[in-house]
Structure 1
Amino acid sequence: MTLTGKGTAISGDATDAPVAVAPPAAPRERERTAVVRERASGLWALVRRHPVFAVILTVAALLRADAMIGYTPAMYFNDSFDYLHVAMKPYPHPLRPDGYSFLLLVLKPFHSFALVVFVQHLMGLAMGVMIYALLRRRFRLPKWGAALATVPVLLDAYQIELEHLILSDTQFAFLVVAAVTALLWRDKATWRLGAAVGFIIGLSWLTRSVGAPVLLGVLVYLVIRRTGWRVLVATLLACAIPVVAYMGWYKLDSGKFAITESNGIFLYSRVYKFADCHKIDNLPVEEMPLCTEPQNRLPNSQDGIWNAKSPLNRYPGTRFSPEQNATANDFAKRAIIAQPGDYLGVVAHDFFRVFQWRRTVFPDPATYAQYEFGNRSGTLPNWRMDSDSTAADEAIAYEHGGARTRVVEPFATVIRGYQDVFYLRGTMVGAILLVGLAGLLVMWRRLGGRALLPWVLATGLLLAPAATAEFDYRYVLPAVPLACLAAGMAFSPAVRSRVSRPRRPTRWLTRRAGGAAGS
């Protein structure tokens, strides 16, 4: 018997006690190697089953990797620093919702803009994967056809550049494509699926305000598909959860239950180009400073907001205040009612500008240059974001170091040369939409079938900026994945069978033929 240090007796010799022996390292290593080999073989089998798409996806990933190395840590647009400002000091921004700033806030502990654009590039690749998976699994397209539908999303140089900018558009497009994919993945929508789709749409609404029409399009689609009231209610309630919560936060901060204070000001920029106060009846006195004679108008609609000579600057106070937004909104609505033809004219002009073959410089050289991979390293702006910091200060604080865009050769030359040649022209976008429309017309008895959802959303995303603000190149790209999906669905077996099915003779022709035979 042996006594322990605490006086407790234990029987037998200490050497007789069982000793846990760690398994040798070699079997563990063999297990890990086996797991790695199994996963690698599974991935290789997947590549062999989908060779065309695997090649496209690999090229797309390499192009994005080249952009990340050639333009580090990220690229910036004017709006980037507003999003960043909210991420550094969270508050509900009156100009645009904060959904994208929340992403920056979540990734803030890593202090890396490179990580932000890496996540956005993954979103871009994921959109291509979702399109391919839907067209193959759900709509039974051949592998090469489904892969071809992903090319405008995966290999367009301006899509890659948009993903490399600190901007909300990639996140918005990803959320909308994810919602559409979830809704089309199953034959029958359940209330749980509706709730998931509604919540995703709510997040997209908080990323860009144009998410509101997306919700409307989805609800109309659910009604047409006769999914039942439970699915509709679940979609609405789930969408309302993030949106109403955000509006409550906005009310706590500014005293108004809203998402932004900019819708009226943007609508004013839309009517700025044609509004004639001589044609507007009973215009309130407080709105008369918004009148501009034709010879004094600035060249672009957005000059009605951002230019120093904008009529909005005739009002005291801060821009995007509730008072200024309400005044601009009322003036814009009066102008549209008084001049509906002029309004439809500017909307049609901007909508069809999307489909131009040549990519012209718009709205000005400085803004257009931000959509291009440049040949010089950038500098951070020094404009003040608040009384305590500048845009450059906040970017450096977020990165914990140098945050300006640095051009690294020869990688920058590769993606810059690629952008000069391989990009989606506006006419190609129009052709993709027409292919999708042809599929809808074939399925007209079913109101276009399932392709109605992505096609209507794509067209709506192109039309909304033209109707409420002004054309911009960055507003085109989020519609492209949906347009490609609708175009791919136009070649599904269901559509092809209707095209190839011989038409039955009409009853009138049958009677006519029978009468001729009898005579």
Structure 2
Amino acid sequence: MSAAISSSRPPGSRTAGVLPRIRQDLRRHWLLGILLVLGVILRVMTWLAYQPALLFIDSFTYLDNIGPLDPSAGHPLGYTLILSFLLGLGGLSFVTAVQHLIGLGMACALYALARRWGVARWLSALVAGVVLLDAYQLQIEANILSEVWFQALLVGIMWTLLGPRRVHWSWAVLAGLLVGAAVITRTIAFVIALPVLVFLLTCGGAPTSAARWRQAGTRIGAALIAMLLVVGSYAAYYNEREGEWRISGIGSNMLYGRAATLADCDRLPLDPEMLTVCPEEPKSERAGVDDYTHYVYGTESWPRGELPDDVDGQKVAVEFGRLVLRHQPLDFAVATLVDFVKNFSPVKETFPNDVPVERWQFQTEYPRWEHLDEDARDYTFRFDGQPPSVREPLAQFLRGYQLSVGYTPGPLLALAALAGTAATFGLGRSRSSGLRSAAMVTTGIGLALLLGAAAFEFSWRYQLPALVTLPVGGALGLTDLLGGRLKGKQRTALAPFPDPVDRAAMAQFEQRYGPLEGHPLVVVIAAYNEEGGIGHVVQEVPKRCGHLPVTVLVVVDGASDSTAAVAAEAGAYVCDVEQNRGQGAALRLGYHLAHRMGAQYVVSTDADGQYDSRELPQLMTPLFDGSADFVTGSRRLGTEQTNSPVRWVGVRVFAWLASLLTLRHITDTSFGFRATLTDRVVRVPLREPQYQSSELLIGMLARGARLRELPLSMRLRSSGTTKKGRNLVYGANYARVMISTWWRDFVRRPKP
């Protein structure tokens, strides 16, 4: 039958269905689309302007090492292996084309990641726009350098940690492998291990029980083993080739370069060998870190005195550097902090004694490195069969763009870092929204890389990893601090039941529990990140009510903690929904699941412990004796504990409004402990993800349900924090939903 139906579809019907979705996506993500088009145009211009590729000083080292694969050549072999593979498919121009495509892919991935965590579309587009439009990013993509691939690994690490709703040990393994790959691509990546491991410890909430500690320990152990597998294997290869357990040939020269600019040679306890490497010039007249690292260390005139034949100059430099750091830690800390702050300067300029910013700017002539013996022409002919060339009109445009508006201002990155840090420390809604760990790992990776690089020297090149980390961390932080005000409108209405999320959750639920029948009374609890209290709430529900057994069903609304596991351990049936959609969506799904379980009666209560489940027999009495179809408690008739005067007033205002709209006396519209007949509640079209209580109340009354309010008690929340947001904003939307539901169900609904 299905095959016949499929074959009877008119030609092009599938295409006709796809095109409207494409148009809808384009309208929805129009800002990203514009930025993406501009990013493509800029990358095509860059690729055409500099053929076959830009070659920096380090590029020659990478290209020379493709055959030998010498781990001591100066850089880890990660990028060299990638370069070797790509050059097997094409020339240098092919490599830069691939790197430009990676730049576009990273922008789209960052946009999707930000949207996945609830960041507004316009703000997510700005996150992507940093990568799409920054001219320094474009320039580095045109270079034969490892930066773009290192950035891509960072994006992959962030997606591995933040893409899945819960990070199980398998995701931790993948994250560890990617961190290891990043270390053997750029050695500085070892500093990101700390924020990654802290995230794996806290991503399900702070460990407060033995089970949570075991889960966190499993994640951390899996990630560490994966990291060590990659890094250890590489170190073993280095040891086999060079007889040393190392990752890179670089290290001693960078340590010496920083120490040489700081050393107080007259005050340090230097032995005769160390005196030969300590600069003679006063500190105020010394060159910069880059000069001592690359143009003094290891040259024929260094060290300035003869060393004994059995003394290794490299080991002397390392010992000298360590001694300076031990005796002048404050000087080292100040120098590091000064170089770190330079990343947030309003204008990109060359600071005294630092690496020239011109190295990372578009030039109208092909760059030449006069102090090197290598000729770029030899390399471009060898690897691409053409001489290096510059299309001057395109190069002039790119240079003008870069020097005027085509770069990310430092203060903008500083703002992003501050917003991400604020969320990391639990300001705003981050403690309850799950944004805290997400902001911590993205911002932490970016700041760790900037600080780690600044410990050795400052270069605008070392700022580039921050372009893919700090903006997304800042967007998460701003979303945490400002919430719905960034989005411009509240969450959209739910699709009619069942939508794809509902169907997937029901299928998973039935696969887990099998056919379910014979549950006459089901208590539905919607829960989001309530692991601290859900177990007690479930256990407090009576096992029987009157002559009926009681079943507890917890619908976990895309939680990022262990709410589902705790609820199941407490004895509840658990429907674990992949996506966080709001309490209204979770309760609607719970009502329909209860109906499938054969429930005649369905009760709803909150997961925060505010309602006394021991009052369940009192709540059910009007349903059992047939005097009501819909029963709800009332804090005004019963007892109420509150610490919010605004909400105290709101309860009375909305009760008056509901009474006016429905012409019935109502004292409490938002009491969460309710009971009704299951076959009635599943016929109410519930569409509100958040403000569902008034929608259900008015929807039931519009369909002729007999309402009964009972004097029940309401306590203060026993654990966690409220998900309702700010009082005034919540109240305005609650009133909007109440009036729109009344208009839909009372005014426009046809009379039966």
1:224 deviates by 2.9
The answer to whether the 8 A contact 2:76-2:186 is kept is yes
Indicate which of 53, 59, 66 corresponds to 1:87: 66
Q: Does 1:134 align with 2:113?
A: yes
1:208-287 equivalences in 2 (<5 Å): 208-225=186-203, 226=207, 227-281=215-269, 283-287=270-274
1:262 deviates by 2.4
1:94 deviates by 4.1
- Under a length normalisation based on structure 2, what TM-score does the superposition of the two structures give? 0.56
Indicate which of 75, 96, 104 corresponds to 1:96: 75
Alpha carbons of structure 1 residues 215 and 376: separation in structure 2 relative to 1, 3 Å: same
Alpha carbons of structure 1 residues 248 and 291: separation in structure 2 relative to 1, 3 Å: same
Q: Does 1:341 align with 2:330?
A: yes
Give the whole-Å Cα distance in 2 for the aligned partners of 1:337 and 1:41: 66
Letter in 2 for 1:450: A
Match of 2:184 in 1: 206
User: Structure 1: where are the runs of 5+ without partners?
Assistant: 1-30, 507-519
| 3-state secondary structure, aligned to 1:314 | coil
The answer to whether the 8 A contact 1:440-1:451 is kept is yes
Letter in 1 for 2:46: A
Letter in 2 for 1:153: V
Alpha carbons of structure 1 residues 83 and 367: separation in structure 2 relative to 1, 3 Å: farther
Q: Does 1:477 align with 2:464?
A: yes
- Under a length normalisation based on structure 1, what TM-score does the superposition of the two structures give? 0.80
* Alignment RMSD (CA, Å): 3.3
The answer to whether the 8 A contact 1:354-1:426 is kept is yes
Relative to its length, the structure with more strand (as a share) is 2
1:433-452 equivalences in 2 (<5 Å): 433-441=417-425, 442=427, 448-452=436-440
Match of 1:426 in 2: 410
The answer to whether the 8 A contact 1:382-1:392 is kept is no
1:47 deviates by 2.4
| 3-state secondary structure, aligned to 2:346 | coil
The answer to whether the 8 A contact 1:57-1:154 is kept is yes
1:450 deviates by 2.0
Alpha carbons of structure 1 residues 365 and 252: separation in structure 2 relative to 1, 3 Å: closer
Identical counterparts, % of pairs: 27
Match of 1:5 in 2: none
Match of 1:332 in 2: 321
| 3-state secondary structure, aligned to 2:320 | helix
1:409 deviates by 4.4
Q: Does 1:416 align with 2:399?
A: yes
Give the whole-Å Cα distance in 1 for the aligned partners of 2:322 and 2:180: 27
Give the whole-Å Cα distance in 2 for the aligned partners of 1:256 and 1:35: 61
1:396 deviates by 2.4
Q: Does 1:396 align with 2:374?
A: no
Letter in 2 for 1:201: V
The answer to whether the 8 A contact 2:195-2:440 is kept is no
1:470 deviates by 0.4
1:293-372 equivalences in 2 (<5 Å): 293-295=280-282, 298-308=286-296, 313-314=302-303, 323-362=312-351, 367-372=356-361
Match of 1:113 in 2: 92
Alpha carbons of structure 1 residues 184 and 94: separation in structure 2 relative to 1, 3 Å: same
Relative to its length, the structure with more helix (as a share) is 1
Give the whole-Å Cα distance in 2 for the aligned partners of 1:403 and 1:243: 38
Structure with higher RCO (Cα < 8 A, 6+ apart): 1
| 3-state secondary structure, aligned to 1:188 | coil
| 3-state secondary structure, aligned to 1:273 | helix
Letter in 1 for 2:341: F
The answer to whether the 8 A contact 1:262-1:325 is kept is no
Give the whole-Å Cα distance in 1 for the aligned partners of 2:360 and 2:346: 17
The answer to whether the 8 A contact 2:420-2:474 is kept is yes
1:81-117 superposed Cα distances (whole Å, 9 cap, x missing partner): 1111112432213422111111110012234111111
Alpha carbons of structure 1 residues 48 and 498: separation in structure 2 relative to 1, 3 Å: closer
Indicate which of 475, 481, 486 corresponds to 1:488: 475
Give the whole-Å Cα distance in 2 for the aligned partners of 1:421 and 1:92: 40
Alpha carbons of structure 1 residues 300 and 187: separation in structure 2 relative to 1, 3 Å: same
Equivalent residue pairs, number: 460
Q: Which has the larger radius of gyration?
A: 2
| 3-state secondary structure, aligned to 2:60 | helix
Alpha carbons of structure 1 residues 245 and 440: separation in structure 2 relative to 1, 3 Å: closer
Letter in 2 for 1:249: Y
1:141-185 superposed Cα distances (whole Å, 9 cap, x missing partner): 221121122222221111111111111111111101211111011
Give the whole-Å Cα distance in 2 for the aligned partners of 1:82 and 1:360: 27
Letter in 2 for 1:276: D
| 3-state secondary structure, aligned to 1:279 | coil
Q: Does 1:55 align with 2:34?
A: yes
Match of 1:148 in 2: 126
Letter in 2 for 1:50: H
